[in-house]
Structure 1
Amino acid sequence: MAAAAAAVFTMLTPTGTSFAIDHIPCKDGENFLKIWSHLGGSTSVDCYANRGRISFGGWWIDRIYTGNNDLIYYDSNGADVRINRWTDISFPNRPPKVRVIEIL
């Protein structure tokens, strides 16, 4: 009976690995998503790994290096902007105010 229950459980459990985006320490030479941003008088440089979506809190983005990640950011104006991997882009004059970032 226990073996039958285990077999049914195995067949009903999804296979594969699920991923959630992680805010990680930035390290030189790594190819993670790296974002330079500001809000008010504060500035920040943040790195992210793994597929998923996370709130960015309405910070203004000054620069993005996608590393080996495809990215979509959702700005406060309602635009969804995709940026392909290996892209380094700066926004010196009109930085986007971002609500959410998503690694694809």
Structure 2
Amino acid sequence: MISHAKRVARSVTVAFAAAAAFTMTVPSGNAFAIDHVQCRGGENFLKIWSHSGGRQSVDCYANRGKTSFGGWWVDKISTGNNDLIYYDANGDSVKIERWREITFPNRPPKVNAIEIL
């Protein structure tokens, strides 16, 4: 009876160790994170010109993912080599293909979030 209990315990331990090793070595699906990066000439980052509360900003982003944009008004978007979806305050989502530059001179959208695909 004791040897049977030892074999079961050993089997459980081996199975747990194998599962842990498998979890550590196999990459997990779509673990991407969008990054706010420094804007630099010659790079093909997503670049967004925006304003809010009397302040203006130019921000660049890289890598796939979604992030809050804080409800800023967007004046211009240059997608670089990124496909983009922006989510505006009206609940709409707008997709913009890579290598596009769009300006909003009259009615800029108020953007709550951006997503690089």
Greater RCO (CA < 8 Å, at least 6 residues apart): 1
Normalized against structure 1, the TM-score is what?
Answer: 0.89
Question: 1:84, CA displacement in angstroms?
Answer: 0.5
Q: Which has the larger displacement, 33-42 or 5-14? A: 5-14
Q: CA deviation at 1:88?
A: 0.5
Uncovered stretches (5+) of structure 1, i.e. residues with no partner = none
**1:99 alignment counterpart:** 112
Q: 2:37 maps to which residue? A: 24
Give 2:27's aligned residue. Answer: 15
Gaps of 5+ in 2: 1-9
Q: TM-score by structure 2 length?
A: 0.80
* Matched letter for residue 98 of structure 1: V
Instruction: Please tell me whether residue 70 in structure 1 is matched to residue 92 in structure 2.
Output: no
For residue 63 of structure 2, what is the aligned residue in structure 1?
Answer: 50
Detail structure 1 runs of 4+ shifted over 6 Å in the superposition: none
Structure 1 residue 3, shift from structure 2 partner: 6.9
The one-letter amino acid paired with 1:15 is P
* Larger strand share, 1 or 2: 1
Q: Distance in 2 between matches of 1:75 and 1:85?
A: 19
**By how many angstroms is 1:5 displaced?**
4.2
Instruction: Report the 3-state secondary structure (helix = DSSP H, G, I; strand = E; otherwise coil) of the residue aligned with 1:37.
Output: strand
The alpha carbon displacement at 1:11 in A equals 3.2
The residue type equivalent to 1:54 in the other structure is T
CA offset digits 1:1-50 (Å, max 9, x no partner): 77754432243455256210010100011001000000121000000011
RMSD: 1.9
Identity in percent: 64
